[in-house]
């Protein structure tokens, strides 16, 4: 999608915030653990290539993505660090991954057997273990051992890693986390092959369960300055700096009389004369209709979105007439007031990840620092 660079709606990304979040995670992890930055979904809409370039300068160990296309985008941009595709790829794409030195997640023996006959270059694999997420990976020890035995006979398949993913590492209760942890430790114990990387730590695990085994951390939402647990958070060991802000401007403003309905469905009607401003951002930009009634910042005032959010525009109630071009903040700071992705997520009954990933490519990004 073509970014709408001639519209005042913009996403701003602070490079210094990204650097700060990474360096603090690096310090907490210690020298014995490697860090792979998770830049899937276009780095949670922060721009995968730019984020990767920033972290390359800081000597990050590698990157995680969700699809082989995301990995190829990084390779095309000149990123040379290790790249792991966390999602399963069709076995027909194994040669493409091998040719581009892209590591892949594997969750069954049949995939390995088929890939062994098709790749001509070394293919680095990370065996995925399903310890309770119910998503991808080996569940039984016998099947895992059989896969390891097969890898021993196939020199073109490089056993680069073995991993799992926790479902509740960000929860206050760690009962289910401990169940998954015990299962992971059982599955990786006494395998007939040694893996270069053993990893189970996402951002939440690296923050609150540093005793978890492994020598690699997959740093995701924490890199972008957001708490994995959202606003209902456990205490953080260091301060996170949100890297993304979302702003627009007032493009129209008028006073409406009492009894005037606003937007589709006429779901909002003024109870008295109200000053209504129009802002060029809508659900096609990722600010979904469920955010109707949430607040934005104008001149340091919290102003509600009134009437249903439209595809490309929304309306807000403001305390006075403002000049056209007045700044409207959806995510970020304004006059010592802050609206975070967590605030938006709480209102939308979702998580901060989804707020970021919903933002459309139609909104241009501006990088600072």
Which one of 152, 254, 264, 366 is the catalytic residue? 264
In eight-state DSSP terms, residue 237 is S
CB-based contacts of 243: which residues, under 8 Å, 6+ apart? 13, 14, 15, 17, 18, 21, 46, 224, 225
Please answer whether residues 109 and 90 qualify as being in contact, where contact means their C-beta atoms are separated by less than 8 angstroms. no
22 is catalytic: no
DSSP string covering 71-92: HHHHHHTT--SEEEE-S---GG
Question: Has 1 been labeled as part of a binding site?
Answer: no
Helix, strand or coil for residue 195?
A: coil
Which one of 22, 33, 40, 317 is the catalytic residue? 40
Q: How far is CA 214 from the centre of its chain?
A: 22
Q: How many CA atoms lie within 13 A of 199 on its CB side?
A: 27
Neighbours of 245 (CB within 10 A): 23
Nearest to 9 by CA among 249, 216, 230: 249
Question: Has 311 been labeled as part of a binding site?
Answer: yes
254 is catalytic: no
Q: What residues does 138 pair with on adjacent strands?
A: 129
Tell me the binding residues for substrate: 135, 311
Residues designated catalytic? 40, 264
């Amino acid at each position: 999608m073509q970014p709408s660079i001639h519209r005042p709606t913009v996403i701003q990304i602070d490079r210094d915030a990204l650097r700060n979040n990474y360096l603090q995670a690096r310090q907490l992890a210690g020298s014995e653990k490697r860090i792979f930055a998770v830049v899937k979904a276009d780095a949670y809409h922060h721009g995968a290539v730019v984020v990767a370039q920033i972290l390359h300068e800081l000597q990050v160990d590698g990157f995680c993505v969700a699809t082989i296309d995301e990995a190829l985008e990084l390779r095309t941009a000149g990123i040379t660090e290790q790249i792991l595709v966390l999602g399963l790829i069709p076995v027909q794409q194994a040669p493409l991954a091998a040719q581009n030195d892209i590591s892949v997640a594997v969750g069954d023996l049949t995939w390995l057997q088929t890939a062994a006959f098709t790749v001509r270059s070394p293919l680095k694999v990370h065996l995925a273990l399903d310890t309770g997420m119910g998503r991808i990976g080996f569940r039984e020890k016998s099947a895992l051992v059989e896969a390891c035995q097969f890898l021993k006979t196939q020199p073109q398949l490089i056993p680069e890693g073995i991993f799992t993913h926790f479902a509740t590492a960000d929860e206050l209760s760690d009962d289910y986390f401990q169940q998954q942890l015990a299962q992971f430790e059982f599955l990786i114990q006494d395998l007939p092959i040694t893996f270069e990387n053993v990893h189970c730590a996402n951002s939440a695990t690296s923050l609150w369960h540093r005793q978890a085994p492994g020598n690699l951390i997959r740093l995701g939402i924490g890199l972008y300055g957001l708490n994995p647990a959202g606003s209902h958070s456990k205490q953080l060991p260091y301060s996170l700096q949100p890297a993304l802000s979302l702003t627009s401007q007032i493009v129209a403003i008028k006073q409406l009389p009492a009894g005037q309905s606003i937007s589709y469905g006429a779901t909002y009607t003024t109870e008295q004369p109200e000053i209504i401003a129009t802002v060029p951002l809508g659900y096609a930009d990722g600010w979904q209709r469920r955010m109707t009634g949430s607040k934005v910042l104008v001149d340091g005032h919290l102003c509600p979105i009134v009437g249903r959010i439209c595809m490309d525009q929304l309306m807000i109630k403001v305390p006075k007439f403002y000049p056209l071009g007045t700044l409207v903040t959806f995510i970020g700071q304004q006059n010592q007031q802050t609206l975070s992705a967590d605030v938006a997520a709480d209102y939308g009954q979702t998580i901060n990840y989804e707020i970021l990933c919903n933002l459309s490519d139609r909104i241009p990004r501006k990088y600072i620092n």
